Amino acid sequence: MAITLTSLADLATHGFDDIIDVRAPAEYAEDHLPGAISLPVLDDEERARVGTIYKQVSPFTARKVGAALVAKNAAAHLQGPLADKPGGWRPLVYCWRGGQRSGSFATILSQIGWRVETLVGGYKTWRGLVVQAVYDTPVAAPVVVLDGNTGSAKTDILNLLPGFGVQVIDLEGLAGHRGSLFGNLGPQPSQKAFEGALALALAGLDPTRSVVVEAESSKIGNCRIPPELWKAMVAAPRVTIAAPRAARAEYLARAYADLTADPARLAATVDLLKPAHPREVIEDWQTLAAAGQFQALADSLMERHYDPRYGKHRERMAAPMAEIAAERLAPADLPAIAERLARAIMR
């Protein structure tokens, strides 16, 4: 049987035991349905080879070669990842367009006796729903932007707000990046994968309540914020955390411990600021980094780089609807700040 998705929320209602992506590994790596596991019926090289035969020899020959490869790979999956699946197992199988690859694998699984279903339109159906959600549909819930100078613990506080009844979307968490030049956390999701995760988050919102997102530029690392959300963020009211620079420097030295633990990576990141500052300023920062004076480094970076730039940007913006003063940003202080923010947002 085949199912048809008409909304992003439909997938969860079907209650499949597993969602299986039978596309090639490169296709899966770029993006896939949430929670899907990769069991390719053709690997990247095999897919390319079958495609070449299809174009240069004949579709019949390509299908014959492809069928043999699918059977070989299906056997490996049955003897490996699927070996212990019980008789009542109910998977969803999909490929690029819901055609031959998923149909072939689903047929094999159904002959065993499993209650397998396929997805009408395959991954393209899912991607179409994601594009509609993030490119064509205004954000349903009123958006509030959480602002504050660098080092104001915005992300940590944002993720405490649900405990006080506020719905949030953690854009940096979805993008796998902390948003600044120093914010690299490793490989980011692809743009398509970022949009898929964002679309699901948007679909889960209660449109009668505000949703809080952190102030960001239009790109978080390599991930672009899609246009409908970006328009909503630009027009949204802001709530701001106001903390002294010393408290922010202490917070940054703690929050970026992963970066400061890697001297070569830290030095290389500081060097990325060379186009914006004189040589002697870069040398001062490199000296602080080499000496392990990370709090002083954070303080100087804010004084000379981040705070002036944020100040100029905010001169063009309306006053925030609320400003929450925070003298300290130690871990024990953050829940109280989040509670005060929640009250300001929900009043």
Please state, in angstroms and rounded to a whole number, the distance separating the CA atoms of residues 12 and 3.
Answer: 12
Cβ atoms of 286 and 270 within 8 Å: the answer is yes
- Residue 213's Cα: distance from chain center in Å? 14
Rounded to 10 degrees, what is the CA torsion of 135, 140, 144, 150? -30
Structure tokens at 162: 């649900």
Burial 196-228 (b: 16+ CB within 10 A, else e): bbbbbbbbebeeeebbbbbbbeeebbebebbeb
Terminal-residue alpha carbon distance, the chain:
50
Residue with the two structure tokens 């690997």: 43
Please state, in angstroms and rounded to a whole number, the distance separating the CA atoms of residues 210 and 343.
Answer: 12
Q: Strands 211-214 and 167-168: what pairing?
A: parallel
Cβ atoms of 329 and 246 within 8 Å: the answer is no
**Catalytic residue set:** 95
Query: In angstroms, what CA-CA distances link 234 with 197, 213, 316?
Result: 21, 11, 12
In sequence order, the β-bridge partners of residue 91 are 18
- Give 1: exposed, middle or buried? Use CB within 10 Å, 0-12, 13-18, 19+: exposed
